[in-house]
């Protein structure tokens, strides 16, 4: 994707000009500053990069195995889901003015799409303009979709995190590797998949050993992180907002060799995931719901079960078998996370049953009891204003074992701790 152009635009720019990366398919012109349901424009925003010690043992490592260097986590701003119980609410839910909320509440569930341009060129499955037949949201009609795409700078709301270039993101990956990270952990990456793919290529990830990064890039190749201003001029931004330079020796002479993990919410488009094929080594994906009503109520995504099923099938196609190093760290494969919610044991059982009957022990489960009630969610949904009981969690674990699940991570004791939630202060960005 780096350097390839179509009608003067890179593939990433084409995708960002009418964004269809996620199942919302809102069509926002993020390239010129509009923000769709995810709440962010095409510029990359991230809240923190750090060695994260609270992922699964095969990702963060353990002191017992001498692998406790941690996951090299990069926390991206914005999110295509609107989960009311999100642990990273501060970073994922963009706080905004009333005008912006109107736009953000345009929550789309696309069940039928019709391309309006059969000559869209590269990546057309992502960047086509679609006709939407069904939208799930609160009082939002179809005609409001395009009207509510607003420029974040015109509205005047602050996007959390720091703004960085594709080049700087590649540097962050390499810096985390040099700090001893076991892997690169891309947290909530969906809204930035094309830019992340560019950064991984820039860092030389999964390039053959006999190919030098500098040879792959060339001396004057453009990178698609050079997004355009509203007047059509290019801009390259680092975390401090200053122009970044072309790739230099600080990237050219280094190569990203540790596994890359896509840590996502499960609400993905297959076409977008294919942009990561060959670049992502491990998918660490949520599968939150098989209950459509719960998906609508708590994540504004009534079609979550169908989209998660499609996405998981693509992830398994790309990474069909789990591979672990001798030290226990995962190198390839798919891990499916499921967070047990209060009063929703039935949803957990339905979710586990579908995944296991479809994939057996080819995927790993991570069954979590760490649900933490938050004040904002509790006000709207009193049923969520408590922790998961030991009886509820044990019922889910017992059910998984009764099905024959063998490959699973399970949590013990009181795991609802603030330690899971880092401070999004821009450190490492």
pLDDT band at 22, cuts 50/70/90? very high
Q: Percent of the chain at pLDDT above 70?
A: 72
Which pLDDT value is given to residue 229?
A: 45
Is the whole-model pTM more than 0.75? yes
Mean pLDDT, range 194-205, rounded to an integer: 97
Q: Which residues contact 213 (CB under 8 A, 6 or more apart)?
A: 202, 203, 204, 207, 251, 252, 253, 254, 255
Q: Could you tell me the two tokens for 312?
A: 């998981």
- Give the CA angle between residues 233, 239, 240 to the nearest 5°: 80
Mean pLDDT, range 14-36, rounded to an integer: 95
Least confident range from 149-153, 175-179, 388-392: namely 149-153
Q: Could you tell me the two tokens for 85?
A: 């119980």
Task: Give which of 352, 357, 349, 265 is closest to 315, Cα–Cα.
Answer: 265
pLDDT band at 253, cuts 50/70/90? confident
- Beta-carbon neighbour count of residue 30 at 10 Å? 27
CB-based contact 216:247 (threshold 8 Å): no
Mean pLDDT, range 312-333, rounded to an integer: 98
Span 91-147, pLDDT tens digits: 888 754 333 333 333 333 333 333 333 333 433 344 332 222 232 333 222 332 333
Which helix (DSSP H) or strand (DSSP E) does residue 264 occupy?
A: strand 260-264
pLDDT band at 216, cuts 50/70/90? very low
CA distance 236 to 240: 11
Task: Give which of 397, 396, 404, 333 is closest to 362, Cα–Cα.
Answer: 333
Q: 295 in the Ramachandran plot: left (φ > 0), alpha (ψ -120 to 50) or beta? A: alpha
Span 333-358, pLDDT tens digits: 999 999 999 999 999 999 999 999 99
Q: Does the pLDDT at position 290 exceed 60?
A: yes
CA distance 94 to 39: 6
pLDDT band at 414, cuts 50/70/90? low
* Inter-CA distances, 243 with 17, 44, 173, Å: 22, 14, 20
Which pLDDT value is given to residue 18?
A: 96
Span 371-395, pLDDT tens digits: 999 887 888 999 999 999 999 999 9
Which domains are seen in the chain, by residue range? 5-420 (3.20.20.70)
Name the residue with tokens 């012109």: 29
Strand-pair partners of 410: 367
- Give the CA angle between residues 304, 308, 309 to the nearest 5°: 120
Name the residue with tokens 């050993």: 209
CA distance 207 to 172: 18
Span 101-115, pLDDT tens digits: 333 333 333 333 333
Which pLDDT value is given to residue 287?
A: 98
Would you give the distance in Å from CA 102 to the centre of its chain? 23
The single-letter DSSP state of residue 77 is S
Which pLDDT value is given to residue 420?
A: 61
State the chain's mean pLDDT as an integer: 80
């Amino acid at each position: 994707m780096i350097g390839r152009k179509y009608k003067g635009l890179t593939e990433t720019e084409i995708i960002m000009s009418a964004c269809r990366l996620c199942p919302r398919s809102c069509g926002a012109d993020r390239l010129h500053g509009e923000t769709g349901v995810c709440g962010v424009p095409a510029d990359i925003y991230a809240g923190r990069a750090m060695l994260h010690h609270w992922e699964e043992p095969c990702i963060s490592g353990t002191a017992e195995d001498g692998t406790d260097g941690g996951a090299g986590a990069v926390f991206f701003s914005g999110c295509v889901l609107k989960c009311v119980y999100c642990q990273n609410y501060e970073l994922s839910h963009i706080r905004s003015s009333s005008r912006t909320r109107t736009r953000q509440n345009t929550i789309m569930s696309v069940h039928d799409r019709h391309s309006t341009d059969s000559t869209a060129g590269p990546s057309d499955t992502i960047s086509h303009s679609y006709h939407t037949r069904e939208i799930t949201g609160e009082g939002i009609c179809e005609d409001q979709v395009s009207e509510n795409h607003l420029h974040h700078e015109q509205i005047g709301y602050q996007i959390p995190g720091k703004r960085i270039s594709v080049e700087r993101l590649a540097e962050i990956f390499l810096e985390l590797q040099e700090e001893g990270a076991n892997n690169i952990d891309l947290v909530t990456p969906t809204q930035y998949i094309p830019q992340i793919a560019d950064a991984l290529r820039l860092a030389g990830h999964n390039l053959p050993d006999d190919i030098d990064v500098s040879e792959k890039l060339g001396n004057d190749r453009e990178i698609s992180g050079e997004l355009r201003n509203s007047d059509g001029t290019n801009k390259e931004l680092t975390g401090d907002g200053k122009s970044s330079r072309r790739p230099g020796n600080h990237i050219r002479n280094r190569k990203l060799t540790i596994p890359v993990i896509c840590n996502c919410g499960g609400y993905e488009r297959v076409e977008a995931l294919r942009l990561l094929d060959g670049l992502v080594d491990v998918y660490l994906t949520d599968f939150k719901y098989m209950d459509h009503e719960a998906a609508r109520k708590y994540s504004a995504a009534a079609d979550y079960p169908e989209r998660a099923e499609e996405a998981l099938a693509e992830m398994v196609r790309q990474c069909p078998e789990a591979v672990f190093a001798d030290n226990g760290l995962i190198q390839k494969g798919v891990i499916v996370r499921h967070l047990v919610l209060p009063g929703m044991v039935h949803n957990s059982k339905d979710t586990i049953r579908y995944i296991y009957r479809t994939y057996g022990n080819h995927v790993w489960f991570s069954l979590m009891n760490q649900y933490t009630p938050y004040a904002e969610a509790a006000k709207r949904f009193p049923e969520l204003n408590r922790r998961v009981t030991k009886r509820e969690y044990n019922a889910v674990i017992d059910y998984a074992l009764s099905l024959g699940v063998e490959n699973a991570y399970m949590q013990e004791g009181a795991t609802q701790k603030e330690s899971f939630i880092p401070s999004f202060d821009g450190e490492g960005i």
